[in-house]
Amino acid sequence: MAIEIERKFRVRSDAWRQAATGEHYRQGYLSTVAERTVRVRVAGDVGYLTIKGATRGATRAEYEYVISGDDAHAMLDNLCLRPLIEKTRYTLEYQGLVWEIDVFEGDNAGLVIAEVELESEEQDIALPDWIGEEVTGDVRYYNANLVANPYCNWRP
């Protein structure tokens, strides 16, 4: 079984931008129930179908498959829940780990989240200066939940 162990953080400054490279993502969900999510994503010209299990701590089952870009776009346009998630994902290395910083657009504009994948939940990590509050266990920050409750609705 494929396992994803990931911690998520708010980003408190743009200091990461000078060392990062980015790629635009367009993604949507076919299922967003707590026990499983089924996501369709396009990154560049490549499509992906990803199935994730329920999160336990910072760990969950994850299966990802490459699909044609045309199929992915068709699923995003015709089958996925709305709103779609649009973001630019930036990557950079910090002290031996690859960090992914998602800058959200559309209904989730203003939200910037950093993620780091780990070998184990107990793995020690050094946090860059631009990292803010940890939100690993906060379900509001799950991309699948940003469809039902986008960031634009969080503000008073």
Please give the domain boundaries of the chain with CATH numbers for all domains: 3-153 (2.40.320.10)
Residue 142 to residues 59, 75, 138, 146, Cα–Cα distance (Å): 13, 21, 8, 6
pLDDT in tens, 50-97: 999 999 989 999 999 999 999 999 999 999 999 999 999 999 999 999
Which band of pLDDT confidence, cut at 50, 70 and 90, is reported for residue 156? low
**Strand blocks (E) in the chain:** 3-11, 21-31, 36-43, 46-53, 59-67, 85-94, 97-104, 112-117, 131-134
Annotated active-site positions, please? 29
Cβ atoms of residues 27 and 104 within 8 Å: no
Q: pLDDT confidence of 155, banded at 50, 70, 90? A: confident
Q: How far is CA 101 from CA 21, 53, 92, 104, 135, in A?
A: 10, 22, 8, 10, 14
What does the pLDDT read at residue 24?
97
Q: What is the DSSP letter of 56?
A: B
Shortest CA distance to 83 belongs to which of 148, 24, 36, 18? 148
Average pLDDT score, the chain: 95
Q: Tens of pLDDT along 12-40?
A: 999 999 889 999 999 999 999 989 999 99
pLDDT of 106 strictly over 70: yes
How far, in Å, CA of 73 to CA of 77, rounded? 6
Q: Which amino acid belongs to residue 5?
A: I
- Tokens 């743009």 sit at which residue? 14
99 pLDDT tier (thresholds 50, 70, 90) = very high
What is the pLDDT, as a whole number, of residue 1?
62
What pLDDT score does 19 carry? Answer: 84
Backbone phi and psi for residue 43, each to the nearest 5 degrees, phi listed first:
-125, 115
Cα 66 from Cα 45, distance rounded (Å): 11
